[in-house]
Amino acid sequence: MIKVVNDPKILSVEDEAAAWVVAMMAESVPAHTERQFELWITANPDHAQAYADLSATWKAPSVAEATATVKRQRQGRSHLAIILGGAIAACLVLGFVSLNTKSVGLPAFKPQPTYSASLMTGPGDIQDVALPDGTRIALSGNSALTVQFLNGRRQVELTRGEAWFDVAHDEGRPFHVAANDTDVKVVGTAFNIDTVTGDITEISVYRGKVQVAVGKAHTDLTPGLKLISHSGRSEVTRFDAAQTPDWRDGWYEAEDIELGRLIAEVNRFAKVPVKIADPDLAAKTVSGRFKVSDPALVLSGLKQVYGINVQADETVTVLTK
Amino acid sequence: MEPQRHDDDWAAIRLIVRRYALSRTRQPDLADDIAQQAVLNAIEYQQNHIVISLHALAFRIADNLIKGHYRRLKPISDISEIDGMACARPLPDRITEDRAETRAMLAALNKMPPLRRDVFMRRRLEGQSCEDIGRALNLNPKAIEKHITRALVDLHAARRKWREVEAPDKTINPDNDRPDNDIEEGWAS
């Protein structure tokens, strides 16, 4: 979960409840949002009451009728009135926005000169995070990273798993990502970094340019290039940068990759960890497009196509030949 | 998520869904039925599905039950049914009261900054998503959510105020048929 220090005085329970009513009626509510909602609503009986009351106001027939009336009244006005109204509206909008920068909403990051955050996801939980400089990070399941903005440097450490970065351009403050033994220096770009295991790191560049340092060797990567660093040695290959990384939609594309690698991806989503019984099986190669966000589906596919045995109990799923 | 919930948790969910259903239907007996049915359905549902938020699930089920209730009420083709439904149909003073509440909501809408009102109406009346509204107005969806939130807070404050002033003795306070006065303060504060 994302930890955010928030001044509780800014938001009243009613404001928070209203924000949750608005957030929870979206067409699709992300799993992590729903989880945060359940934590919030069970935290205090006042929260639950306020949520019930604000939800009822949202649905109130009087509100439905009032909005319909406003719409009818507006349609009856002349064009001139609408144009004038628009101009007045524009003025009011400016005033409104400037007055409301600290207004209600779900807890959010606030711009600060120096800034730090720790993000962590559980299996199956993908977090989209906006940093105060405009950088966006999507953190895959079962992954962790820390962010620190210091004077003249933005530093991220990917301590576990995989993340996708869309970095805001800021020449005065280069953006660095450290993962395993690699360091990625960014100016302004979109790229993906995957710590496959403790000694393998994959960096794929989607836009812009990054410089990767593995030990003392520096490699420049441009869009469409992927660097795989394995125990201090690095290798550069090409990939299709027109597509965003598959994992962002829960897919993993495998071409002759080791089963162990695929299962590492599955474990970013699996609620019950998947283990491979022996190293021979882990080294066996598989190919295909796997919906790793649905571990049960992947495992039944492996069973059918590769004849791999799946033994599941409550705490672990074991794959055997 | 633990597979079995404590009875206490379900009791808390039932109470809060009842509060919601009462605020929407203003009929204590109907609210009891809806709350009980919503919890039963939720218990059944979570046995076969992974549920992240039981509260969200229970509220969604309650919404559907309320919708189903009013849908059943609308076409009264069979004369003999009318007698049995008499309690569920709006009374004349309820209708007058509803009109007055609508006027209060209208006043609150007209008092809002135009952008806030416009965004709220797109979401509430036209059912546009925050993303769609953001694209139309060139604002990000988070900003849209905040405008809608503000509008909802405004309307809620107006609705609460109207009920305190205009209809203090009507059965619209979700808790005034229970002796628990603490909760009543929560509604009024």
Whether residue A77 sits in one domain with residue A192: no
> pLDDT at position B20, please?
96
- At A307, the amino acid letter reads G
Whether residue A231 sits in one domain with residue A158: yes
Q: The tokens 């149909």 sit on which residue?
A: B89
Instruction: Please report whether residue A1 resides in a domain.
Output: no
B30 and A CB contact within 8 Å:
no
Among all residues of chain B, which has the CA nearest to that of A102?
Answer: B146
Q: Are B130 and B148 in contact (CB under 8 A)?
A: yes
Q: pLDDT tens, A116-151?
A: 788 888 777 777 787 877 788 888 888 888 888 877
Whether residue A216 sits in one domain with residue A129: yes
> Which residues on B lie below 8 Å from A96 (Cβ)?
113, 115-116
Q: What is the dihedral of CA A296, A301, A302, A308, to 10 degrees?
A: 90
> Which residues on A lie below 8 Å from B16 (Cβ)?
48-49, 51-52
Residue of A151, A243, A164, A250 whose CA lies nearest to A203: A164
d(CA A140, CA A247): 7
Q: The whole model's pTM is what?
A: 0.48
> pLDDT at position A197, please?
72
β-pair partners for A120: A144
Higher pLDDT, B150 or B171: B150
Q: Which of A40, A63, A97 to mutate to test the interface with B (most CBs of B within 10 A)?
A: A63
d(CA A259, CA A284): 6
B119 confidence band (pLDDT: 50, 70, 90): very high
Give the per-residue SS3 of A159-171: EECEEEEECCCCC
Q: Which of B155, B160, B161, B162 to mutate to test the interface with A (most CBs of A within 10 A)?
A: B155
Number of domains in chain A: 3
Chain region(s) in chain B for CATH 1.10.1740: 7-87
Multiple choice CATH, B7-87, 1.10.1740, 2.40.30, 2.40.160, 3.40.50: 1.10.1740
Give the per-residue SS3 of B61-129: HHHHHHHHHHHHHCCCCCHHHHHHHHHHCCCHHHHHHHHHHHHHHHHHHHHCCHHHHHHHHHHHCCCCC
Residue at which a domain ends, from A238, A266, A287: A238
Class of the B90-188 domain? mainly alpha
> Which residues on A lie below 8 Å from B9 (Cβ)?
42
Query: Does the structure show a pLDDT above 50 at B184?
Result: no
> pLDDT at position A114, please?
67
- At B126, the amino acid letter reads E
Higher pLDDT, B170 or B68: B68
Cβ–Cβ pairs < 8 A, chains A and B: 156
B168 confidence band (pLDDT: 50, 70, 90): low
> Which residues on A lie below 8 Å from B174 (Cβ)?
52-53
Whether residue A228 sits in one domain with residue A188: yes
Cβ pair B145:A19 closer than 8 A: yes
Q: Domain of A137: which CATH number?
A: 2.60.120.1440
B124 closest CB neighbour out of A24, A67, A89: A67
Cβ pair A50:B186 closer than 8 A: yes
DSSP codes joined into one string, B129-165: -HHHHHHHHT--HHHHHHHHHHHHHHHHHHHHHHHHH
Query: Does the structure show a pLDDT above 70 at B91?
Result: no
Q: Are A193 and A180 in contact (CB under 8 A)?
A: no
Whether residue A131 sits in one domain with residue A207: yes
Q: What is the dihedral of CA B75, B78, B80, B83, to 10 degrees?
A: 10
Q: Domain of A316: which CATH number?
A: 3.55.50.30
Cβ pair B149:A15 closer than 8 A: yes
Taking residues B80-93, report their average pLDDT.
50
Does the model's ipTM exceed the 0.90 cut?
Answer: no
Q: pLDDT tens, B30-81?
A: 999 999 999 999 988 888 777 888 999 999 999 989 988 887 765 544 444 4
- By percentage, how much of chain A surpasses pLDDT 90? 12
A213 confidence band (pLDDT: 50, 70, 90): confident
Q: Are A194 and A202 in contact (CB under 8 A)?
A: yes
d(CA A103, CA B98): 31
The boundaries of the domain holding residue A315 are: 250-320
